[in-house]
Every structure is written in C-alpha cells, then in structure tokens.
Homo-oligomer: A and B are copies of this chain.
Amino acid sequence: MRATIIHGPGDIRVEDRDYPRVELDSDAVVRVSAACVCGSDLWPYRGVRETREPRAIGHEFIGVVESVGSGISSLAVGDFVIAPFTGNCGHCPACRDGVTVACEHLVSWGSTDEKGHFVQGAQGEAVRVPNAEATLVKVPGVKDPDDELLADLLTLSDVMGTGHHAAVSAGVGPGSTVVVVGDGAVGLCAVLAASRLGADRIIAMSRHEDRAALAREFGATDIVAERGKDGADRVRDLLGGVLAGAVLECVGTAESMDQALRCTRPGGRVGFVGVPAGGAELPIGLLFAKNITVGGGMAPVRTYLPELLDDVLAGKIHPGRVFDSVLSLEEAPRAYALMDQRQAVKVMLKP
C-alpha cells in the first residue's frame, strides 16, 4: 500500500509499504477513507522536532473496518469508524477516568504497539488498530459519507475534540465570556465548541480575513486583531471594562500563553490545548496574584467523541468547514507545504 513517510525536515514522501493485517485478537484493520495533516506534524517537517530515521506519519483518520481479530464483537467488517489521535485500552484507571490520552497502554499511530507489532501512520491507505473496540467509534447508519459529512467526521479524530477540550477545561458554559487565542483549525473548533456549550460572548483573536469569517460562522461574536497589551485592552473594551472569564489557548507558544493570561480576568480560567512548543513555563506568581486557573493538555478526544458525533450526525455542528483543501494521498508533500506556508488552514488527504 501507499503510505506517507517523513525522512527529515521538509522531506515528505509517499512510498510503498506492507498492507497491515490482524496481528492480535483485539485488532481491527481500517481502510482509510480520509486522513489529514495536523499542526503538530509540522514540527518534524520544520525540523523543530528531530526525525532520526524515516517513519510513517499522521494521526487523524476515518475509514471502513476491513478485517477484525477473533476478540472483536462490537465492530464488524464494513463499519464506518472514527479513530482518535491515539489508541487506548478502555480499562486502565486513566481510561476509566476518561483521560484516555494517559492510558497505560497508549498506542501512537506510526509506531509500535506493546507487543512490538508495527502500527501504521494515519496518512496511508490502511491502519491496524490495536484495542480496536476501546479505540474506534462506529458511525451508526453511515457507510459512505458524502464530502461534507466526511469532513465533519474527520475533525472528530482530533481538532474538534481538542477545541472542545479547551472549552471544557476553561469551564465554558451558558453565559460565559470567552476569548479564543489561535485561529488555526483547533482555535476555530474551540470557537464552535464554546458556542455549542452556550457561551454568551466569544471573541476570536484573528488577523486573517478568511479565518475570522469562519470564526464568525462558528459563533464568534467579535474579532480582535490586536496582540499583546493592545489585544487585552480591546477585549476589556468589548466586555464593558472586564477581561474574559474563560480563555482558550490553542497555539502552544510562549506568546500565545502570554496573550491568554493577559486576557483572563481575576478568578478566570485558561483552557490550553496548544502543544507547548518549548520556551517559557507558566508564571506561577501571576497565576497566584490573579487567581487564574490553568487546565487542559492533550485532549481525550475518545471520551468526547460520542457526544460530538451525535451533534454532527444531527447536523447541529459542521466542524468540517475547517478543511479548505482536499488532496490525494499522493500529494501529501504538497499538503505539508500548504500547511507550512499557512496557505491552508487544514488539508484533507484522500487515499
């Protein structure tokens, strides 16, 4: 089969690899209908994270179950499924707490499982999924989704669940005043999540007209282009003299966290889901003085999947609008370049 392999900074190739097969009783093999490129895939692409040897890449995919192990009963060949961006066992203490990303038997796509069997990356034609019953979520009543539904479902693999985690971690609910820092796919999904949770005001910080327009479509009530102190002052003006009660940090840089903390009122909460890109730690003295709570991290998207899927299937939310480009799997190198140069918000790859 064809699979996307990263060889080093800027070096993405689509190559031939062995087609996966069931290795363990709890496995399912999924034929990928759609995958995509994540902001965090750009780290090795940009050389921020080292690539020691060529490896399969990609961690977001949806597709059709093609074969299952003998221990599988809740999934069948032909089921359309969503894979979270990590696999989990479903029965360890962290899984029982719903923190599936801290699973004691965590599976990373493009890696090996606990038994030493290879697990394919998501940007390829097929993936073997260990602990398939705990990991995969079946999409009921759907066999061959149209393009719009396909896009919506694919976001549930990562970005929509991650945006939702930011909102949940910041305690967003009816009446909340929310600022979203970051206008990438996750930030835009965080706007949608805040809107879905009933927030009263949602201020999206964006300087890009197209992204700001999508943020408004997703429920943003205001757009702020200013940054730093000016940005926080603008938020304060918009909210009638106070800062926001909930701020969603969806970037992961020292600057974006600084922006988030500046926009948070005393006693407020920051939900952060941007993968920390190194640099500054959290300023504990500021958190103490302002009574700011900071929570979040790697999103347990598996836990959120059922409720978000319900809303997608009911047509209540359309997170798939974050995809502004669809390419074939063979065009993966171009997909990375588009994302890297910010010429695309989110690129879908179709094998």
With A266-B99, A267-B99, A282-B282 already in contact, the answer to whether A296 and B291 are too (CB < 8 A) is yes
**Residue of B at shortest CB range from A93?**
B242
A98 to B245, CA, bound (A): 13
Contacts of A300 in B (CB 8 A): 267, 291
CB–CB A288/B276 < 8 A: yes
With A267-B99, A281-B283 already in contact, the answer to whether A294 and B297 are too (CB < 8 A) is no
CB distance from A245 to the nearest CB of B (A): 8
Interface assignment of A206: CB less than 8 Å from any CB of chain B: no
Interface assignment of A117: CB less than 8 Å from any CB of chain B: no
Contacts of A267 in B (CB 8 A): 94, 97-99, 102, 300
Interface assignment of A20: CB less than 8 Å from any CB of chain B: no
Interface assignment of A89: CB less than 8 Å from any CB of chain B: no
CB distance from A296 to the nearest CB of B (A): 7
A: residues with CB less than 8 A from B are: 93-94, 97-99, 101-102, 169, 241-242, 257, 265-267, 269, 272, 275-276, 280-285, 287-298, 300
Q: Which 9 A-B pairs have the closest CB atoms?
A: A293-B295, A102-B266, A282-B282, A281-B281, A99-B267, A291-B297, A288-B297, A99-B266, A93-B242
